[in-house]
Amino acid sequence: MKAVIIGGGGRVGSNAAFALQCAGIVSEIQILDANQELAEGEALDLMHGASVVGGARIYAGDYERAKDADLFIITAGLRRKPDESRLDLINRNVSLFTQILGSIRQAGHKSSAIVFVVSNPVDILTQLATEVLDLPDAQILGLGTMLDTARFRSLIAEALGLCATQVNALILGEHGDSMVPIWSSATVNGMSMGRLPGFSPAFQKRIFERTRGSGAEVIRRKGGAGWAVGLTIAEVVHAIALDRRCLLPVSSLQKGAFGLRDVCLSVPTIVGAGGVRGHVEIELWPKELQGLQGSARALQATMKSVRKAGV
């Protein structure tokens, strides 16, 4: 599989490339960035490690060289400010994103290509991609709440003093202010989390508030996220490359699950070869379902403003 990382010279793009290289998931990685010298430098640095791990072919290139890609990973975007919501980024990032999509269309792409959106606000930009690109909806997906879910699980494990890989809990909805924690199905190694010592409404509130504020916290402390988001990108790519059919909280166009239509956001999604293979409508508590539907309404309102602006 050939993966092209658009915005690969930035923190998120370069960290994603490193995660893909270390995991040995893809055979070819092209780094594409508006700063060509930076792209070449990142590609060179990664290529120097190819004999140590992965063995992938890694190089920099333009859209013309990218047209045979199996997977486009779009990470390019302006960085979120510490006190700025992800949806506020729409005013600064939509124009850049539509230019990228235009460049992909102009250079050409394989009919089987998958477009994986990471740039924020990811749900809005994923929906824009479904409207602009001449690809089936199933071949366009966004990172969605994958990073939020990873943070959620890790923070739960830290607070309970347990192994993070045994924690199974989801964040669904918008990757942003209206994200929804799904406590109803949360488990640790198959055991209901509600049965564990220390689990309480106060615990739930504290963990979710920390999760929702984690993006701003990382920006404040180190300037922006990179490593964790790179790992979650690699998890999605792994599911696609090996047709693992993993159930993941990625963002994609909704067509009826949970009563949601014509909006991109995260619900439990089967991800495998070809991208989105289906949505799974798990049982939710009433307040969780209400939160998910409220998240959809918030995104639809934002999408209306985008259309009014003529995007």
What dotted CATH number matches 146-308? 3.90.110.10
Tens of pLDDT, residues 203-260: 999 999 999 999 889 989 998 889 999 999 999 999 999 999 999 999 999 999 999 9
pLDDT of 282 > 90? The answer is yes
Average model confidence (pLDDT) across the chain: 94
Q: What are the angstrom distances between the C-alpha of 78 and each of 63, 74, 87, 162, 310? A: 20, 12, 12, 36, 20
Mean pLDDT of 14-40: 96
pLDDT band, residue 84 (cuts 50/70/90): low
Please give the pLDDT value at position 4: 98
Over residues 162-175, mean pLDDT: 97
Whether the pLDDT of residue 311 is over 60: the answer is no
Going by DSSP bridges, is the β-strand pair 114-117/269-272 parallel, antiparallel, or unpaired? Answer: unpaired
Residue 123 pLDDT more than 70?
Answer: yes
pLDDT band at 309 (very low <50, low <70, confident <90, very high): low
Read off the pLDDT of each residue in 140-169 and give the average, rounded to a whole number. Answer: 97
Q: How sure is the predictor about 306, in pLDDT bands with cuts at 50, 70 and 90?
A: confident
**Residue 198's pLDDT band (cuts 50, 70, 90):** confident
Fold of 2-142: Rossmann fold (3.40.50)
Q: Work out the average pLDDT over 266-275.
A: 98
The 167-172 sheet, strands edge to edge: 167-172, 180-188, 191-192
pLDDT reported for residue 16 = 97
- For residue 308, the model assigns a pLDDT of 75
DSSP code at position 245:
-
Cα–Cα nearest to 148, from 101, 212, 105: 212
Q: Tokens 């959809």 identify what position?
A: 296
pLDDT at 263: 97
DSSP 172: E
| Residue extents of the structural domains in the chain | 2-142, 146-308
Q: pLDDT value at position 223? A: 87
Return the pLDDT at 228. Answer: 96
The yes-or-no answer on residue 109 being catalytic is no
Task: Please give the average per-residue pLDDT across 110-137, as a whole number.
Answer: 95
Do domains 2-142 and 146-308 share one topology? The answer is no
- Token couple for 259: 């009563």
Report the b/e string of 271-310 with b at 16+ CB within 10 A. bbeebbbebeebebeeebbebbeebbebbeebbeebeeee
Pick the catalytic residue: 109, 175, 238, 279?
A: 175
Instruction: Please report which confidence band the pLDDT of residue 93 belongs to, taking 50, 70 and 90 as the band edges.
Output: confident
**Which residues are paired to 181 by β-bridges?**
171
- Which pLDDT band, with edges at 50, 70 and 90, does 80 fall under? low
pLDDT > 70 in the chain, percent: 96
